[in-house]
Amino acid sequence: MSISIKSPREIELMRISNHLLCDMHRELEKLVRPGISTMDLDDAAAKFLAHHGVVSNFLNYEGYPANICVSVNDEVVHGIPSRDRILKDGDIVSIDAGCIYKGYHSDAARTHIVGKASPEVQKLVDETRNAFFEAIKVARAGNHVYDISNAVADYISPFGYGIVRELVGHGVGTSLHEDPQIPNYHMERRGPKLQPGMTLAVEPMIALGRGDVVWEEDEWTVVTEDGSPAAHYENTILITDGDPEILSLY
């Protein structure tokens, strides 16, 4: 395993990449409402990226055909935008996106409620987000990668939600996916030691039912096996000498 330590120059480039992504997420959130298609969100993302002179790091990644991933209800991740997929009141929609700025990647996901959802679905979305913020409390130099994993699991387990095991967080930098992998479930070992300059995508993926998932025929869209709703919340963080910096929030 080779985990890259970013220089101050690289960190600044990643900061810019992630700030652009944060701005894009804010713009996309304003569009989430009943009656729009998931492709409308992809079109808006493409327009934003072009305006700022950056490109999607998802488009054509291992053949992925869109600028962003838009996953609805039981779709956990990697939902492909479509003109035919129209959002309706009560849906939950997760938008996973990233861009490349001067060779450096950003990666972040948000799950939104379309209109008004049931209280149990609203709680799922809220607690998935909360799990991220609980996890990064231990994302400090001297701790270990799997301390983050265990913190997510410790927070989520009491709610009885399913933790997706087949998909994990990861390092990010000059590639979208770098070492190390960061599971969201309990690990027996502690994993590599966290060091200042590491940049990591921490991303709880949580289901209202079981955490078992399957891939649909498009070979991209990951759905819960039991059809239960799922939520996804992700940010790119920087390990520092103190508290972690959330690069994709500012």
- Closest of 98, 62, 57, 39 to residue 218, by C-alpha: 62
Q: What is the pLDDT of residues 130-179, one digit of tens each?
A: 999 999 999 999 999 999 999 999 999 999 999 999 999 999 999 999 99
Q: What is the pLDDT of residues 9-48, one digit of tens each?
A: 999 999 999 999 999 999 999 999 999 999 999 999 999 9
Residue 1 has pLDDT above 90, yes or no: no
Token pair belonging to 73: 């209800």
**Residues in the chain, how many?**
250
Q: What is the pLDDT of residues 203-228, one digit of tens each?
A: 999 999 999 999 999 999 999 999 99
**Dihedral sign for Cα atoms in the order 95, 134, 176, 8:** positive
Question: What is the average pLDDT across 48-56?
Answer: 98
Q: What is the pLDDT of residues 101-126, one digit of tens each?
A: 999 999 999 999 999 999 999 999 99
Residue 69 has pLDDT above 90, yes or no: yes
Question: For 8-245, which CATH superfamily applies?
Answer: Creatinase/methionine aminopeptidase superfamily (3.90.230.10)
Residue 135: per-residue pLDDT: 98
Rg, the chain, Cα only: 17
Residue 90: per-residue pLDDT: 97
